[in-house]
Structure 1
Amino acid sequence: MAPQYLDTAEGRRIAYHKTEGQGPCVVFLGGLKSDMEGTKALFLEDWAKARGQAFLRFDYSGHGESSGQFEEGCIGDWHADTLAAVDALTEGDIVPVGSSMGGWQALLLAKARAARIKGMVTIAAAPDFTEDGYWANFSAAQKAELDRHGRVELPSDYMEPYVVTKRMVENGRQNLVLRSNLILPFPVRCLQGTADTAVSTETALRLLDHATCEDMQLTLVKDADHRFSDEACLALIEKAVEEVCCGNAN
């Protein structure tokens, strides 16, 4: 099916698929350079349709079928896209499911729309990765290149090499969530593979330790990688979403 489109106040065109159903609306937030056609997003859409559950998946600007170029975007732009999609396309309670960079987006959404969130699920969440992953590990030469040319190219285990811009790093610093109070007044389920080479187990533990939350659980899955999309991992995602959706969280 062809996507529908949402025009945002910033002039961006966001592609999305919305499944009507009962609340809360599950909102899938994808990862960096990923799109809404990934295994986890489509799996959750099928799950939602089978249950009659409302569900939303969309592409950030510069991703998938939305407008813009990836290299022009940054964390703040994708946060604005997320807010636009949630505000315009959903009503009432929502359950964000954030994968990788989408986990950071889910946490930013919690800061902006906490009253609307019934629960949250993160999958290999990557909060603050522009600072702790990129900048902290750049060599002096890479930092100089970023300053001089405004961009540096990085290899990836999961996709073609991609460009990190000076704007992405500087804007990321304006959206960090692990350096100040992070209050999550709803159940949170975090899933993390121990064989993930993109997001470390230490990152998951840091988020667990840093957040203020009365019902937050971290599940570590031995040998699962960053994709976290084999049959067993998808079953864990389904279980976690059902817990926070249906009020079965402890």
Structure 2
Amino acid sequence: MPATSFLETAQGRRIAYHKSDGQGPCVVFLGGLKSDMEGTKAVHLEAWAKARGQAFLRFDYSGHGESSGTFEEGCIGDWHEDTLEAVAHLTDGDIVPVGSSMGGWQALLLAREVPERIKGMVTIAAAPDFTEDGYWANFTDAQKAELEAQGYVELPSDYMEPYHVSKRMIEDGRQRLVLRSPLFLPFRTRCLQGTADTAVSTGTALRLLDHAACADMRLTLVKDADHRFSDEACLTMIEDAVLDILSGD
């Protein structure tokens, strides 16, 4: 196993990453909330890319995995900065972001910031605007009061320990929303979504499909697949979606 490398960012963060050299475009895996670059999808896609001789990058956002900081201090904007820094300093030329869950939101933010760098995009259970539509919209009055009083609330998760949701995450998320204003994706986009996903609904996937301005955007719904989307069949679908992007003109 190659040793982890680190990138010192302009914001003073230390971002852990693994980069595989190869032909471009570079496939960049963007993980989900509280996930890290050792997750099944990231590691599998890296092995697939290496076998193809394709350049590949996976990294940990600040407060995740081996990177500096704590999750509780982070927010969507911080992780967007981490993504921009990783792309700017660790890749050259065209890239293919593969965004899982919160990483799907990060991929869409990346599309707004550097669309000229993106060859095409793959999302897996993309969760754009979840701090507003998933968290804030479903907070009870008691939770909103708790958020204001102590600065955070704890929310249960079907997939890991409870989420620590800070007031900063909610307020920052409102500055990063992508489904409330025009969203231009001037490249081929492939979206994958499981129908048994209890973290991100098919409604969110359909909303993104309807909202985005994209000449070549497809959504694939996978019956009974859950939010992990990491069994053998799902991993093969991710490979095929990335290959579809790479083979495009």
| DSSP-derived class of the 1:25 partner | strand
Q: CA deviation at 1:245?
A: 1.1
* Root-mean-square deviation over aligned CA pairs: 0.6
Would you say 1:172 and 2:167 are equivalent positions? no
Q: d(CA) in 2 for partners of 1:214 and 1:155?
A: 38
1:142 corresponds to: 143
1:127 corresponding residue in structure 2: 128
* Per-residue CA distance 1:212-237 (angstroms, 9 max, x = gap): 00000000000000000000000100
What code does the residue aligned with 1:34 have? S
- 2:162 aligned partner: 161
Task: Determine helix, strand or coil for the equivalent of 2:114.
Answer: helix
Q: Write the distance in 1 (CA, Å) between the matches of 2:213 and 2:65.
A: 34
Measured against aligned partners, the alpha-carbon deviations of 1:113-160 in whole angstroms (never above 9, x if no partner) come to: 100100000000000000000000000000000011110011100000
Q: Which residue of 2 aligns with 1:84?
A: 85
Find the aligned partners of 1:147 and 1:211 in 2 and give their Cα distance. 33
What secondary structure, in the 3-state scheme, does the structure 1 residue paired with 2:248 have? coil
Cα distance between partner residues in 1 of 2:13 and 2:114: 21
Name the residue aligned to 2:68: 67
The one-letter amino acid of 1:96's match is P
Distance 1:20 1:99 in 2: 22
Q: In the TM superposition, what is the alpha-carbon distance from 1:174 to its structure 2 partner?
A: 0.2
Deviations 1:18-74 (A, max 9, x none): 000000000000000000000000111001100000000000000000000000000
> Aligned with 2:96: secondary structure?
strand
Q: Quick one: distance in 1 between partners of 2:104 and 2:205?
A: 11
Aligned residues: 248
- Give 2:218's aligned residue: 217
Question: Deviation at 1:2?
Answer: 2.1
TM-score by length of 2: 0.99
For 1:111, the equivalent position in structure 2 comes to: 112
Query: Structure 2: which amino acid aligns with 1:60?
Result: Y
TM-score (norm 1): 0.99
Aligned equivalents of 2:174 and 2:246: distance in 1? 32
Separation in 2, partners of 1:145, 1:92: 46
Corresponding residue for 1:28? 29
Q: Is 1:195 paired with 2:196? A: yes
Distance in 2 separating the partners of 1:71 and 1:140: 22
Provide structure 1 residue ranges, at least 5 long, that are not aligned to the other structure.
Answer: none
Q: Distance in 1 between matches of 2:95 and 2:164?
A: 33
CA distance in 2 between counterparts of 1:84 and 1:119 reads 19
* Residue type of the alignment partner of 1:208: L
Percent of paired sites with the same residue: 80
Q: Deviations over 1:143-191 (max 9, x none)?
A: 0000111100111000001210000000000000000000000000000
2-side partners of 1:8 and 1:48: how far apart?
A: 26
The letter for the 1-side match of 2:239 is: E
Distance 2:66 2:228 in 1: 21
Measured in 2, the distance between the counterparts of 1:229 and 1:8 equals 31
Paired with 1:26 and 1:202, the residues of 2 have a C-alpha distance of 27
Structure 1 equivalent of residue 246 of structure 2: 245
Amino acid at match of 1:210: H
Aligned to 1:58: 59
CA distance in structure 2 between the aligned counterparts of 1:51 and 1:164, rounded to whole angstroms = 39
What is the CA deviation profile of residues 54-113 of structure 1, one whole-angstrom value per residue up to 9, with x for unaligned ones?
000000000000000000000000000000000000000000000000000000000001
Opposite residue 120 of structure 1, the aligned amino acid is: M
- 1:151 equivalent to 2:161? Answer no
* Distance in 2 of aligned mates of 1:170 and 1:116: 29
Q: In structure 2, what is the Cα distance between the partners aligned to 1:107 and 1:162?
A: 23
